[in-house]
Structure 1
């Protein structure tokens, strides 16, 4: 695993394969008002497990770089591991697990994605042991580590691993009676990961026998939900779920099979977007992942931009807030934009709707740099491995989540003024680890998973145009008039109306007469607020005009925003305001910033409040 400034990545294919497969979807409307949708393309055969896919990839291209990470965050050098070297380490670590009697219980990993995380994950999977990647915040940002302890109590891991000394307290909280490991033994009470490796021929042979016997029903991971809609739950992810989902994506994006993906990715492996959708795309398609040590936040996004000078991603994944802070930099930096678009096939967003103005600006910037890249998105959950839908067609509206993937069945069930999305397919979880009560409640009487998300048809007469995301049903609220406010719809509409002035927003107004909002100025406009959050006259007038644009056309009280409060303190990941996947937890922000909510709700003449022109308080 040498330090090198330029890892070897797959060479571009000589003949370009289409980016998207043709859309083939059917819909039926039942007499009870329930709508059923499914892809008419059958799911093709695929690997039985991630282990089978990884071993085949290592045999086919052992010299290709599998993973690259900065030697130290913020430094220039990259540390890399090839597919072949990873296979050797994985097999030796798996042998060590077998020799020490650690192969029949889960392996819990407290630190983020990286080389040691990857080889230990694959080693555990190779002997049939589930992997439990924990949110970094659970190990680093709490004094009592209550969530971490609850997870460990539930899954009872044989091994606990962390990458560096900053995890010492987290390791100590859950390692009693368990084998504790760290990358180099620097964490108190741990042994170096290399000390577990074994080259004993009989143990290596036993590993190969176990790996051969892994089937689609073998549990690969136990992924804990972020808790944004309740207490974290351990979601069972089988190998069959994970490989089926990647095959579904191959069929929607045919170029993946012909052009191994190259990713620059910051998304955490403790969640399904980064750890399943993106990492597994590399593992299943012979690609290369570069770990991005940046984040979608001021002061961190600059690292992402710098990494783009070393990486030419073919697919780029981010959350809408990430594009919100990245795009102004690319628009102002021609060389960074040229590097970003050089090999890019797809730009992908998920976790929330992308504001329409961002979609328009990204496409304009791509055209300026001669790129034919497409923007796309999908919908999924931890329970669905994760993608159930994808927009494998050119999208013209940013709230589109696409059509069902091959093998996926969708059920749209009326729920008040909305339609709840329920799903069924080979990539859907069998349930929650050691919680039969939660499992029983999660599925309806036809075996569809209840998702709690709302969707609507883009065109009632043409299912091929796909679905639009309509927010989380539990996230919506009623005004005092009894009118529902669709947070998932109104938030991106506000950001689009603001036309690049705002990075993100939280919608307020539960049991009030009017809808209000808390919002953060975009990076290029943060200097237009003083330390108390008072905007300059120019920014105030521009945002007032945005609120007026949002209300144009006689929109009702639930579809417009009367007042806006700008915030200067960025949302806190440690406090749970930002989930590990990078989107705002609306409920947590409102609770933590109750004083700001009260201020904007009161409708005072406070200098920090921006009123919609012609509203009652103007």
Structure 2
């Protein structure tokens, strides 16, 4: 429809939709010539790059299955996912295991495309055909490969376009890793559908983000809480030209209200959503027009998807009562690749996907994500949700990030242990941070231990890894 429009900008170089189409056809023809057929798995390993986009669409054109890999994983972790998925081809920008029959490095990528015909005709795919396998973060044990069908991707895009006024003149900053479902399906694909422009960042960098917003007049971007906190804490924040930005979107973890208000003070609309890899990912969304009145909310169920909040016996939780989030709809995964046991365990009560996340639903129907069920701990018989404690710590002066976990305690069963990252140059005293929580949080919610650290361990999608934090030896009580 719009071959002359700019589809991608990467390191200052624009690529039109027409040029991108030709390159995708060449890559599909080259892969076909190398023996790749319908149903085969084609993997990509590398930082954000136009080759990621080309590999994905070429794989779909072949009726094959795309497997984007987390480039931050170790060699053995990558080898496991390649073997588990049965990948027969890999496009990559770094050394990889030699077990893949066809491996094409980005150094050899252009020559691989060069001899192929641009006249490739794609194979048809049905809505129920598997389009991609996205491996979960793997915070415990081996990660699972969530299958997403072409229908899952399409219905998720429809849901997003109902919730967000994505325009044909959109200039979207793709700053989160494209192997992450939100950057891929909540930003890149909807922008493609509208014929907008995606500005691709190879990796996250606060200063580079400010530069790209100003130089390309960015209108829309997605980020996780840590990314937006980094922008707000930068010396450039107060004077940065952000006048082109129409919408900021976040997900992945509850965002502290103090951070949302910092963006509101700059006149920026901060839209929070909730979802997971298995829901492609959108499940709930807070529309821009509601962002101020329901600050911190993850919004309402997206249009073509049903979302419930239930008690352990699967009965409906009352308004304000914490319960597990269940999701059902055409955007929900059919299951996990080569793992029927995990697939069977993920669904209950007639096809509802168990999220493992805790939420409360307000009288208005808005969802507020409280925490992961596995992150909640019980102190003296009371449930403590770390996200609430983290948000209170974040509001203390000099705090850049906070993570709270439950640790064993002889008297209370479990107590809180906080890890706090200071703003550069700030001298944080644990006692002062804890004192700032008194009167704001019930006593049982205030951490017993608090440590100032340089950084927090993270998954490849920038979520905080709490397992390693729980395993650290306990210091003396604060």
TM-score, L = length of structure 1: 0.71
- Whole-Å Cα distance in 1 between the matches of residues 174 and 439 of structure 2? 35
Deviation for aligned residue 1:478: 2.2
Deviation for aligned residue 1:279: 1.6
| Aligned position for 1:7 | none
Of residues 69, 88, 112 in structure 2, which corresponds to 1:158?
88
Unaligned runs of 5+ in 1: 1-59, 71-77, 186-191, 367-372, 530-534, 572-576, 604-610, 612-618
Deviation for aligned residue 1:556: 4.0
Of residues 66, 89, 106 in structure 1, which corresponds to 2:23?
89
Pair 1:484–1:94, CA change in 2 (3 A):
same
Written as runs of structure 1 = structure 2, the 5 A alignment for 1:96-245 is 96-104=30-38, 105-138=40-73, 142=74, 145-163=75-93, 167-168=94-95, 171-175=96-100, 178-185=101-108, 192-200=109-117, 204=119, 207-208=121-122, 210=123, 213-245=124-156
Cα deviations by residue, 1:535-557 (Å, 9 ceiling, x for unpaired): 4xxx6675354223533xxx241
Deviation for aligned residue 1:90: 0.6
Pair 1:343–1:259, CA change in 2 (3 A):
farther
- Whole-Å Cα distance in 1 between the matches of residues 37 and 105 of structure 2? 18
Deviation for aligned residue 1:294: 5.0
Unaligned runs of 5+ in 2: 314-320
| Aligned position for 1:61 | 2
| Aligned position for 2:464 | 584
- Whole-Å Cα distance in 2 between the matches of residues 304 and 100 of structure 1? 38
- SS at 2:134 equivalent: strand
| Aligned position for 2:281 | 386
Deviation for aligned residue 1:411: 2.2
Of residues 532, 550, 569 in structure 1, which corresponds to 2:440?
550
| Aligned position for 2:316 | none
| Aligned position for 1:402 | 299
Contact 1:111–1:136 (CA<8 Å) still a contact in 2?
Answer: yes
Q: Which moved more, 1:302-311 or 1:347-356?
A: 302-311
- Whole-Å Cα distance in 2 between the matches of residues 93 and 293 of structure 1? 21
| Aligned position for 1:27 | none
Contact 1:93–1:120 (CA<8 Å) still a contact in 2?
Answer: yes
- Whole-Å Cα distance in 1 between the matches of residues 437 and 421 of structure 2? 15
| Aligned position for 1:40 | none
Deviation for aligned residue 1:379: 0.6
| Aligned position for 1:346 | 247
- Whole-Å Cα distance in 1 between the matches of residues 308 and 191 of structure 2? 30
| Aligned position for 1:4 | none
Q: Does 1:570 align with 2:455?
A: yes
Q: Does 1:486 align with 2:411?
A: no
Q: Does 1:435 align with 2:346?
A: no
- Whole-Å Cα distance in 1 between the matches of residues 233 and 449 of structure 2? 26
Deviation for aligned residue 1:560: 2.4
Pair 1:344–1:549, CA change in 2 (3 A):
farther
Contact 2:25–2:117 (CA<8 Å) still a contact in 1?
Answer: no
- Whole-Å Cα distance in 2 between the matches of residues 64 and 449 of structure 1? 39
Contact 1:407–1:425 (CA<8 Å) still a contact in 2?
Answer: yes
- Whole-Å Cα distance in 2 between the matches of residues 294 and 94 of structure 1? 26
Aligned residues: 464
Deviation for aligned residue 1:111: 0.7
Cα deviations by residue, 1:455-510 (Å, 9 ceiling, x for unpaired): 11123xx22xx11001000111223x2332212322223213x15x2121121342
- SS at 1:251 equivalent: helix
Contact 1:294–1:304 (CA<8 Å) still a contact in 2?
Answer: no
Deviation for aligned residue 1:229: 4.6
- Whole-Å Cα distance in 1 between the matches of residues 374 and 150 of structure 2? 31
The higher radius of gyration belongs to: 1
| Aligned position for 2:317 | none
TM-score, L = length of structure 2: 0.91
Deviation for aligned residue 1:317: 1.3
Deviation for aligned residue 1:200: 4.4
- Whole-Å Cα distance in 1 between the matches of residues 203 and 179 of structure 2? 17
Pair 1:122–1:356, CA change in 2 (3 A):
same
Q: Between Structure 1 and Structure 2, which shows a larger proportion of strand residues?
A: 2
| Aligned position for 1:19 | none
Q: Between Structure 1 and Structure 2, which shows a larger proportion of helix residues?
A: 1
- Whole-Å Cα distance in 1 between the matches of residues 328 and 237 of structure 2? 45
| Aligned position for 1:310 | 215
Cα deviations by residue, 1:410-444 (Å, 9 ceiling, x for unpaired): 12211398311111000000111111111111111
Q: Which moved more, 1:419-428 or 1:354-363?
A: 354-363
Written as runs of structure 1 = structure 2, the 5 A alignment for 1:212-611 is 213-253=124-164, 255-256=165-166, 258-293=167-202, 295=204, 300-329=205-234, 332-334=237-239, 336=240, 338=241, 340=242, 342-366=243-267, 373-392=268-287, 393-415=290-312, 418-459=322-363, 462-463=364-365, 466-479=366-379, 481-496=380-395, 498-499=396-397, 501-512=398-409, 513=412, 514-522=415-423, 526-529=424-427, 535=428, 543-551=433-441, 555-557=442-444, 559-567=445-453, 569-571=454-456, 577-591=457-471, 594-595=472-473, 598-599=474-475, 602-603=476-477
- SS at 1:174 equivalent: coil
- Whole-Å Cα distance in 2 between the matches of residues 293 and 148 of structure 1? 20
Structure 1 vs Structure 2 CA RMSD:
2.2
Deviation for aligned residue 1:362: 1.1
Contact 1:294–1:301 (CA<8 Å) still a contact in 2?
Answer: no
Cα deviations by residue, 1:371-408 (Å, 9 ceiling, x for unpaired): xx421111111000100110112344543111011121
Pair 1:354–1:129, CA change in 2 (3 A):
same
Larger RCO (alpha carbons 8 Å, 6+ apart):
1
Contact 1:260–1:282 (CA<8 Å) still a contact in 2?
Answer: no
Pair 1:269–1:247, CA change in 2 (3 A):
same
- Whole-Å Cα distance in 2 between the matches of residues 230 and 313 of structure 1? 39
Q: Which moved more, 1:271-280 or 1:445-454?
A: 271-280
